[in-house]
Chain A
């Protein structure tokens, strides 16, 4: 520690200074001087940490902390509640965990009051304290969207801070600058933020660092630190272990964007792909010229990209959640996924990818794929606008495609030379494409504004005949000319309500270029035909929307099929805060039924997402999760509340009190009544009991066909052979529809589905596979289901077919059916109903 070369001269100097001192005093002074020299050397060579330091740090720290809390600590607590999730800017964490939680909705107001009182008190303390509260005023104003108030507070703060050169003043000025950056980012004004930052290259606060990093400066990453930037992109960037990769976007109420141009979001590529049965299809693409050639190979790769577990398509879930992938040292997995999936590949990888799933039939109807050369992702509101534009483009595309459920309407209307029809939902949009041109080639586009007959038919529940022929010349207005029919150049028409049970689910508008086609007798005939087809049309419409989920497949002819469709229609049309209950054993298809209920609500105009809330034994935690999922038009499904009637009641009550003003639905998935010893959910508006799949074998063909349609797009072609259906029909299905779906998927992966491939797949999956239902195990319901499933197209009994399903010979089946009293199809229907 002490340099000995200097020792001699130091000793000489000391001896010179000690001249004239008494020997004892000089001796003491020498000792002290030596000790002092060691002490000085210790101070000069203060590079190594001392073990002595730890002693006493903690008690001293504890003493120092006692008087240190203050209003600002309280403000930090409130701010954590009051700050919107999408706000930018770093915020220090409070030093202590507050024992008292403030409800989110009250936090902003409490913070406002605190700031106001603190500012009054700080005015006496000094200008610095007052300016600190200006900073808080600016923050609060920014969080509540009052941009100009925030700017005014910042102006005041900066004017005060500019006059100070002491360290606190410098801090304050820097904090104000951070706040200004966050304000610009919150407003979506990235250009201003970058210009501000360019003016102050020396600034290295976390928001500035985030902005620099986002603009491509990889070195800035370490300066972001652990400060909480608060915004969604920041969370993704920092790679918090608990941070969700999926970002919720509120699509409701967002303004429609003008288009999907990449310039509007500063992206290098914006691609809209529609998901169809046999893969995705690009509907619109705006990519940088350098990437134009990459689009074709990319689309080929992207078709199966949803199979890649870590890829963006798998991370984007239905229900308006977007996947955000950002390449950087902090997120190596994102980097790998981006290189594997982006347009340019690894050679020209994007810096960030945004993948927005778009709602459609069966959950996801398409994807919006946006690639960036930088990490400066657009704010959530802009992404929402983009998604709305993409959704509109997708809907336009779909509108041009024929509906699968047009054929029941076609056959119900019968042949008529010059008629055309359209199906209008209660929300007013034309849902059907013209099914017949009548050979005249005179059909124009559908016109939404002429939907009055349909509205009236839906309102009154009776057919409405109309057309220029019904108006006298005296009453006709000039504006009426050619403007009172749905199709162009129609001369007669009728709107016929399509009723499922008592609920008008749609109106079919039939028009003709001939004046006499909407005669009362014709309309009456159409009404009868459509009345028979209504259940099928509604079920097929829901089925089409649910196809991607697989396994809906309602058999409306089944004894309990019509009742289920009617229940869906009643549930779908109900408005306000509704609580539904779907009861059944696991694997009965309860989630699919809940999804069907959601689609029924969408049919009747609900525009919210379908959200599954994981069960939580804590009432308040569950309540919070449900609260987060609740938004106008949403359907929130809470599963696995089996046997917890108190919880069910609590959830239902909270739902009613919290969501009564919105058109929302809560679906409780429960066990069958009696099994859990409960009386069901007493608060539910409506309840549907789903028996186990084994107990309703007559559903297996339609469910299996629907599932096969969902998976066949990638593997094999339909239809399922009869032998395969029969083989599926007679199994136990302990795992219900999940087991059925798993087996079909496994068999389809090996090739076309046959009875043999199903058997092989079952052996591979180690499932029990039986060639026949043991006669001793067969129940009356099994016999009735076999008789019903195997009935002829005219509704007659087919004992041979039924015996094939059971795996028996016809005489055994006939004897057992006779013994069970199942003499005809009607008896089977009654048993199953």
Chain B
């Protein structure tokens, strides 16, 4: 149990999405009705699950649909709280707040992994997910963006991290490379590989 907090604290300080359980969180998970829990989490997000999803996706340098992550986390959490049987169903029962935070991060990481590994296409093309919302103003097809992000997510983590470090700005290529402990050339090559993954081979044809 000691290792994980160190890992968590090792995140860069500039991370704006650091998440923790709000005070009095126990009262929000007291019900045992799964649907009621899911609805409560979705409507008001009293536990900050959206921030948690964002934190885990950013920490692991993935490009994912935050709504989808949050939705999946809500369902999984409601299910774990309500039906997975004792002891895990009873979050408010045992354990300290810190243990709950650790458990929730582990659960979110599982969901992020599932989201990254998922290959199925959306059955409903008209669904306005985040790719459709962001792609339309930029003249990008939602499926192109979705597939690009999926390819990006399958790239090596060092490549993703390098690309996002450059994309986010705020630092030069050299300083970002120095933080990673590699030369600027290697760092740029990593970022380019990730960009190639994002753009894909036939990106030009899909424009429109």
Contact = CB atoms under 8 A, between A and B. Distances in A.
Interface of A: 3, 5-10, 13-14, 16-18, 22, 24-25, 27-29, 31-40, 42-50, 52-54, 56-58, 60-62, 64-65, 68-70, 72-73, 90, 92-95, 132, 135-136, 165, 167-168, 170-175, 177-178, 202-206, 222-223, 225-227
B88 A28 contact: no
Contacts of B103: 167, 170-171
Contacts of A40: 58, 63, 164, 167-168
Interface in B33-50: 33-35, 38-39, 42-45, 48, 50
Interface of B: 1, 15-17, 24, 26-27, 30-35, 38-39, 42-45, 48, 50-51, 53-55, 57-58, 62-64, 66-67, 70-72, 74-76, 78-79, 82-90, 92-97, 99, 102-103, 106, 128-131, 134-135, 138-140, 144-145, 148-149, 152, 163-164, 166-173, 188, 191-192, 195, 198-199, 203-204, 206-207
Given A44-B54, A64-B79, A171-B94, A52 B128 contact: yes
Nearest to B173: A13
24 contacts: A17-B195, A25-B199, A25-B203, A28-B144, A29-B199, A32-B140, A32-B198, A33-B199, A36-B167, A46-B51, A46-B55, A50-B50, A53-B67, A57-B42, A57-B71, A57-B74, A60-B75, A72-B89, A170-B1, A170-B103, A172-B94, A175-B93, A205-B93, A206-B93
Nearest to A79: B86
B179 to A, nearest CB: 14
A92 B138 contact: no
B70 A53 contact: yes
A52 B74 CA distance: 13
Contacts of A57: 38-39, 42, 71, 74-75
Q: Which 5 A-B pairs have the closest CB atoms?
A: A174-B94, A46-B54, A6-B169, A72-B85, A10-B169
A818 B170 CA distance: 121
Contacts of A44: 15-17, 54, 58, 168
A68 B58 CA distance: 31
Contact of B86 (A52, A54, A72, A202): A72
A34 B82 CA distance: 41
Given A27-B204, A36-B167, 10 more contacts: A3-B169, A14-B167, A49-B45, A56-B71, A61-B79, A92-B86, A92-B90, A171-B94, A175-B90, A175-B94
Contacts of A42: 54, 66, 130, 134
Contacts of A39: 63-64, 130, 134, 149
A58 B71 CA distance: 10
Nearest to A73: B83
A107 B35 CA distance: 28
Contacts of A53: 42, 50, 67, 70-71, 74
Nearest to B94: A174
A623 B47 CA distance: 46
A9 B172 contact: yes
A113 to B, nearest CB: 18
A95 B58 contact: no
Pick from B42, B106, B207 the residue with the most CB of A within 10 Å: B42
A647 B48 CA distance: 56
Contacts of B138: 31, 34-35
A799 B82 CA distance: 83
B206 A46 contact: no
Given A35-B138, A46-B55, A10 B92 contact: no
* B interface secondary structure, majority: helix
B167 A225 contact: no
Contacts of A70: 83, 85
Contact of B17 (A13, A45, A227): A45
B173 A16 contact: yes
Contacts of A172: 87, 94
Contacts of B34: 61, 65, 95
A35 B135 contact: yes
Nearest to B44: A49
A443 B116 CA distance: 98
A45 to B, nearest CB: 7
A52 B134 CA distance: 14
Contacts of A178: 93-94
B132 to A, nearest CB: 10
Given A222-B26, A222-B27, A29 B83 contact: no
B92 A206 contact: yes
B96 A202 contact: yes
Nearest to A8: B169
A36 B130 CA distance: 11
A552 to B, nearest CB: 51
Given A31-B138, A43-B58, A47-B50, A170 B88 contact: no
Contacts of A93: 32
Contacts of A72: 85-86, 89
B204 A24 contact: yes
Nearest to A28: B203
Contacts of A8: 169
A170 B30 CA distance: 19
A175 B55 CA distance: 29
A43 B57 contact: yes
A16 B148 CA distance: 20
B63 A132 contact: no
A170 B173 contact: no
A35 B66 contact: no
B190 to A, nearest CB: 10
A426 B176 CA distance: 99
Contacts of B128: 52
Nearest to B172: A9
Nearest to A69: B83
A171 to B, nearest CB: 4
B32 A94 contact: yes
A135 B54 CA distance: 36
B121 to A, nearest CB: 16
A226 to B, nearest CB: 4
Nearest to B15: A44
A185 to B, nearest CB: 15
A61 B95 contact: no
A9 B34 CA distance: 47
B182 to A, nearest CB: 16
B168 A46 contact: no
Contacts of B95: 170-171, 174, 204-205
Contacts of B83: 65, 68-70, 73, 95
A211 to B, nearest CB: 14
A167 B102 CA distance: 8
B16 A227 contact: no
B90 A90 contact: yes
Contact of A64 (B26, B44, B75): B75
A226 B32 CA distance: 10
A598 B136 CA distance: 84
A168 B89 CA distance: 10
